Amino acid sequence: MRFEEWWERYPLKNGKNVAAGVWIGIVTIDNENAVFACLERYLASDHVARGIVMRPNNWLHDCSRDGWASEWPLPVQPKRNGYQEPERPADTWNGEGDTLPAGFENWTEKERQAWLRTSISYSGPAKGTV
């Protein structure tokens, strides 16, 4: 039987002797392939990706009860820095439909800042806030 191979692949190295005892009691030559297929699904799961890993003996018990057909959610693709930029056309500068002037990307930083200052209307602080 392939317990050592399973143990090397399992992400949590805790309680090897207990897990070995459980393995001997529930894993057979007939279901070994199903055990490894179940392990592959688990290793690709969101739980393992986030570091939430079951104790090996509990994993063996739980998955054997399910006939080695257990499934876990796949990892969600993380948003960049926890924030996902709203989609907007590439030629808008403020997301409100205002477009950048032609050649803006070739302007110097000083030219860009000057244009932005004149393009943003500012009427001062709201009444009653000063």
**∠ CA 111-115-121, rounded to 5°:** 155
Same domain flag for 61 and 93 = no
Same domain flag for 55 and 93 = no
In a domain, 34, yes or no: yes
What's the pTM?
0.58
Same domain flag for 96 and 61 = no
Average pLDDT in the chain: 80
The count of domains in the chain is 2
Domain span at residue 23 reads: 3-65
The model's confidence at residue 108, banded by pLDDT at 50, 70 and 90, is confident
The model's confidence at residue 120, banded by pLDDT at 50, 70 and 90, is low
Same domain flag for 49 and 12 = yes
